[in-house]
Amino acid sequence: METPTVGGRANQKWRTRTAIVQAAAELAGTGGEVTMPEVAKAARVSEATAYRYFPDLASLLAEAIADQLPLPEQALAHVEESTDVVERIAAATEYLLRHILARQGAVRAMIAATVVRPGEASTRPGLRFGLIDQALAPLTTQPQGLDARSLTQLKRDLSVVMSAEALFTLTDLVGLDPEAAIASAVHTATVLTRAAVLNGAGVEG
């Protein structure tokens, strides 16, 4: 008689945990603010129960958002045939920032959590890095004069521009509307990439 009871409890825990993750994923997809009380309400559990399964909102969102992240090759499928890394970086930057905007409440919550606990920054999804690598992939087979050190520096530069922090700086502090903010970030990313490629090829520009 013990086994069914234990199994039933395990199944109930799994269902509760799944409901919490799904509720967080759905709220994240709205783009609005995401809080633990709202997640608990949507999952039809108490806030205390939600915290028993996840110690904080950031760890919950990391799991909830994971299934919403595309593979870099899927995200850049529309420029797959292009070997123009400037074009590819433009596409990657726009894709990333629109992805962030669609989930900005969840992204803001994760940024806030990792700012006060920088040691937990690894819990944040690293979509930007995969997109940068994918966009610059032609340089690994056609270096165009860009050495390994310069390529590494370019990736570091792009990681600053292709980020939620850059997007929110442009919207919240500079006061740009989302479309203008995306256009500005795309411009900066392409300028950086074009300059690196031209410098690698020994061309001043």
Long-range Cβ contact pairs of 168-175 (< 8 A, separation 24 or more): 168/104, 168/108, 168/111
Domain ranges of the chain: 2-66, 72-200
State pLDDT tens for residues 84-122.
Answer: 999 999 999 999 999 999 989 999 988 888 776 666 555
Region for residue 144 given its phi and psi (left: phi exceeds 0; alpha: psi -120 to 50; beta: otherwise): left
Q: Can you give the C-alpha Rg of the chain in angstroms? A: 21
Query: Angle at Cα 58 formed by Cα 57 and Cα 60, nearest 5°?
Result: 65
Per-residue pLDDT 10s for the chain (205 aa) are: 344 445 677 888 999 999 999 999 999 888 888 899 999 999 999 999 999 999 888 889 888 888 778 899 999 999 999 999 999 999 999 999 999 999 899 999 888 887 766 665 555 667 899 999 999 999 987 766 688 899 999 999 999 999 999 999 999 999 999 999 999 999 999 999 999 998 876 544 4
Q: CATH number of 2-66: 3.40.50, 2.40.10, 1.10.8, 1.10.10? A: 1.10.10
